[in-house]
Structure 1
Amino acid sequence: MDNKEIISYLREKGVTKVKFAFADIDGVLRGKIINSKKFISGLENGYGFCDVVFGWDSNDELYDKVNVTGWHTGFPDKLCRIDLNTFRSIPWENNMPFFIADFSGIKGSDHPACPRSLLKQIIADCESLGFHTEFAQEFEWFNFKETPDSLSEKQYVNPEPLTPGMFGYSILRPSLNSNFNNDLFDLLGGFGVELEGLHTETGPGVYEAAIIHDEALRAADKAVLLKTAVKEIAYRHGIMASFMAKWNAQLPGCSGHIHQSLWTKDKQQNLFFNEGDENKMSELMKQYLAGLLYCLPDIMPMFAPTINSYKRLVEGAWAPTTVSWGIENRTAAVRVINTTESYTRLEMRVPGSDSNPYLAIAASLAAGLYGIRNKLNLEQVGTIGSAYANKDYKRLSANLYESSIKMQGSDLAKELFGAAFVEHFTNSRLWEWKQFSSQVTDWELKRYFEII
């Protein structure tokens, strides 16, 4: 829809209010409901929005070392622009119109901390090379018999899972909450986030949803919207959904795997597929994969952005720990799926469900294009068996501090995403580390209180 069509739609339907939102650096949706008259008046030039949204963390605490905004700038309004192509209605809110926005400017004046704007830049780069992108992110998350109030009263200790036991791919367990289960599938579809599949994973109260693949920007939009929509739908059933990467050390973590492939612009040929190759992998796919592996250590925080992310990346937990790849290998960082031409793709397995889809997809695409541009050879042999067992592979960063320091000093990262973004993003990650390091944990009290 263009401006005229949107305005006509709103007037015909008698719409009085519109909701819009954008993702901050953590992938948290920020936004507001506005009067339809204000919405219409801002379609051309945008809407002023305090840029503190890029100056504070997920708990609204101000970063101490970022330059793009802060007390030194006075926290001015920056123009937020709605993407009309993202129009959808919210089924669980009386079909209120909803739009996604970002801080993309005119002629390269994008806000350097806006994740969606960054992804749009990478996609434009990709399209200039003649490629069409197909991406999809899938998520695992845990559901709990809690409300924000009940969990706060318990100080976030011992949340009660929605169902007990380890019931991966269970047909039985979802029937205990069939209304919730069916609402997830149906309401997400009605919200323009169609699912390929929805099932339980192994663990108490854990679900997994795979989103139908789409062009990279639309895929990222759907991934961001799924996380918030699942939480909102869960609220309506007296349930809390958590996309933490690892909420319990004794249980599997929650992934946010990214499936990706490049196609011809007419979408008729999968450029990753080569029938004549032993593994059905085209030279382009091998270069893209080589780029992913080469860049991964330098851009790790874009896949694993929180303290908690690294608790998931441990051996034997269905998550990678090395810079590795393999054919249909779920222990490697990148899994090659090559059954048929239409399904041939790469699965980046490093991201957890706590990842920011815009940044994780931007990182994957930019790294892959780096491999293509530089014609990198896929010198590393694909993993046979467990990638955990191969001690020759380079290890992924062990924590957020280590990965953020590496990215902050990386010329490669600055080449891929620009110095302003890298500075802001890595300082925001180092802030997370600083906040964590200043706390005295339950583990420390139990370990040291009496004996030391």
Structure 2
Amino acid sequence: MEVASYDRVLSGRERAALGERAAALVPGLAAKDVEAVALTYVDTSGITRTKAVPVARLEHAAAWGVGMSPVFDAFLLDDSIVTGRFAGGPMGDLRLHPDLDRLVPLAAMPGWAWAPADRVDQEGAPHPLDARWLLRREVALLAALGWSVRAAFEVEWVLSDGEGEDFAPAAGGPAYGMTRISELAGYLRDLLKALAATGVEVMQIHPEYAPGQYELSVAAQDPVAAADTSVLVRETIRAVSFEHGMVASFSPKVLADSVGNGGHVHLSLWNDDDVEGPVNAMASGEGPFGMTADGEAFTAGILESLPALLAVGAPSVASYLRLVPSHWAGAFACWGLENREAALRFITGPLGCRAEAANLEVKCFDAAANPYLALAALLATGRMGVSAELVLPEPVDVGPDAVPAEERAGRGIVALPSSLGEALAAFERDPVLNQTLGEAVVDTIATVRRGEIALFEGASPEEVTEATRWRH
């Protein structure tokens, strides 16, 4: 939704323009036999929530929104509700406004279209807990300083053809093996066709480590588009899986004794003020592995806040069953060149295209995260690093758990929180996130995280994974 200011209400003229634009799109949707449009947003627990409208109501929805209670900000992953100072309870109402720039028919769900939604109050002002608005604000703050970010989410999932709530891997071939593509060739073909039809640029797809597990990478985009695409990709995977008689799970941990699903984030910082065009600050500099001083500072800002960032990027009790050493999950707050055990993996890309390809991979995040909130927090801490001109410690070129504990301390290699409670404590202490996200967001995140901690108090790893398995 194109709004000139992020801090004022929608004007009557803007509402009329949105309605007219939506009306112009309706005939094209009808020609493609689209009957309804699903409007989605992601809640604090990382669940994609929705309301849908018939195509004939799209014009009204674009201009005036669709009613939705703000209580979903305080939903836990099991759909129980907690109450904080700024969320929870029966009072209030919001309006969901579809972003018409991202409206697209869903090839995996014939008869349906999809659009991510912005949430505003009844007066038309942005809802302070709307993560998509928070992310747009962070993008605008960086732009005011002459910077932009390109981002992409890796999507990992497992497929089950089991009965009921049980998990039975739908493919059993070797990790990364061609056998696993052969087992589900038709499914993977249909998935790629559906994503292409919705405008998603897939870079690669491959079998992952665990039985029945796959991973898909997409092209980098601006942060809001990247978060939108991550939602679209996951819902497309889910729909194609159902069509093929399987169920997809993006949960951080599907079986207690197996590896989990990550939600790695790739980021690159770009200087938009260069006279010759945007320049990748992660390349063509004189800093570590070709970073510029600003690229290094951006990375250092994220590294400094990484324990606190886990409350946003690894937001479930199940996340910490995944976040263990020797699983390529990034269990230590450190960085390194192509080090898959470091929480921050720096990637130069192949010689000859590094100016375009160099980027930072955040490995400790998973798919239980709200992608908009995760990116907003990452951009805020990276921006702080640039402003403070932070410097990175020495890179780590081995598995951090192989470094003796006394040496790790001297090198600044710190184990990341091993529980959601530890991550939440770091989050509530972090001055950057508290200042940039604001009191309402911080309180609501803390309330929801404490609610999930209480929900799984005393539960075994097996009980946690069983309760979480099909929620994300």
Alpha carbons of structure 1 residues 344 and 34: separation in structure 2 relative to 1, 3 Å: same
Aligned to 2:399: 386
Contact 2:281/2:291 (8 A) holds in 1: no
Alpha carbons of structure 1 residues 436 and 13: separation in structure 2 relative to 1, 3 Å: closer
Aligned to 1:397: 417
Q: What CA distance in whole angstroms lies between the structure 2 residues aligned with 1:151 and 1:68?
A: 37
1:205 to 212, 228, 234: 212
**Given residue 199 of structure 1, which amino acid in structure 2 is its aligned partner?**
H
Contact 1:27/1:224 (8 A) holds in 2: no
Deviation string for 1:75-127 (max 9, x for gaps)? 32212222111111111333533211021569994323322222112111111
Deviation string for 1:342-395 (max 9, x for gaps)? 1111111110232221122222211111100111122x1000212222332121
Q: What CA distance in whole angstroms lies between the structure 2 residues aligned with 1:329 and 1:140?
A: 19
Aligned to 1:90: 106
Aligned pairs (5 A) from 1:324-363: 324-339=334-349, 340-363=354-377
1:184 to 176, 184, 191: 191
**Are 2:285 and 1:271 aligned?**
no
Q: What CA distance in whole angstroms lies between the structure 1 residues aligned with 2:462 and 2:50?
A: 35
Q: Secondary structure at the match of 1:311?
A: helix
How many residue pairs get aligned? The number is: 431
Aligned to 1:46: 65
Q: What CA distance in whole angstroms lies between the structure 2 residues aligned with 1:397 and 1:320?
A: 11
1:69 to 68, 71, 87: 87
1:227 to 194, 213, 234: 234
Deviation at 1:47, TM superposition (A): 2.3
Alpha carbons of structure 1 residues 143 and 47: separation in structure 2 relative to 1, 3 Å: same
Aligned pairs (5 A) from 1:175-324: 175-265=182-272, 268-277=278-287, 279-324=289-334
**Are 2:125 and 1:118 aligned?**
no
User: Which one is further off, 181-190 or 233-242?
Assistant: 181-190
Task: Specify every segment of 5 or more residues in structure 1 that has no aligned partner in the other structure, as ranges.
Answer: 445-452
Q: What CA distance in whole angstroms lies between the structure 2 residues aligned with 1:281 and 1:25?
A: 34
**Given residue 405 of structure 1, which amino acid in structure 2 is its aligned partner?**
A
Contact 1:197/1:211 (8 A) holds in 2: yes
Alpha carbons of structure 1 residues 382 and 82: separation in structure 2 relative to 1, 3 Å: same
Q: Secondary structure at the match of 1:259?
A: strand
**Given residue 400 of structure 2, which amino acid in structure 1 is its aligned partner?**
A
Q: What CA distance in whole angstroms lies between the structure 2 residues aligned with 1:185 and 1:12?
A: 23
User: Which one is further off, 18-27 or 258-267?
Assistant: 258-267
Aligned pairs (5 A) from 1:153-168: 156=166, 159-168=167-176
Deviation at 1:38, TM superposition (A): 2.9
Contact 1:165/1:203 (8 A) holds in 2: no
Contact 1:303/1:351 (8 A) holds in 2: yes
2:157 to 141, 146, 160: 141
Alpha carbons of structure 1 residues 216 and 197: separation in structure 2 relative to 1, 3 Å: same
Q: What CA distance in whole angstroms lies between the structure 2 residues aligned with 1:428 and 1:132?
A: 31
Contact 2:287/2:293 (8 A) holds in 1: no
Contact 1:281/1:338 (8 A) holds in 2: no
Q: What CA distance in whole angstroms lies between the structure 2 residues aligned with 1:252 and 1:12?
A: 44
Q: What CA distance in whole angstroms lies between the structure 1 residues aligned with 2:229 and 2:61?
A: 24
Contact 1:255/1:351 (8 A) holds in 2: yes
TM-score by length of 1: 0.89
Aligned to 1:435: 455
Q: What CA distance in whole angstroms lies between the structure 2 residues aligned with 1:236 and 1:383?
A: 44
Q: What CA distance in whole angstroms lies between the structure 1 residues aligned with 2:462 and 2:343?
A: 32
Q: Secondary structure at the match of 1:93?
A: coil
**Given residue 70 of structure 1, which amino acid in structure 2 is its aligned partner?**
G
**Given residue 10 of structure 1, which amino acid in structure 2 is its aligned partner?**
V
Aligned to 2:7: none
Aligned to 2:55: 36
**Are 2:146 and 1:130 aligned?**
yes
Deviation string for 1:243-266 (max 9, x for gaps)? 111222432222111111122338
Q: What CA distance in whole angstroms lies between the structure 2 residues aligned with 1:195 and 1:237?
A: 21
**Given residue 209 of structure 1, which amino acid in structure 2 is its aligned partner?**
L
Aligned to 2:13: none
**Are 2:433 and 1:417 aligned?**
no
Contact 1:300/1:403 (8 A) holds in 2: yes
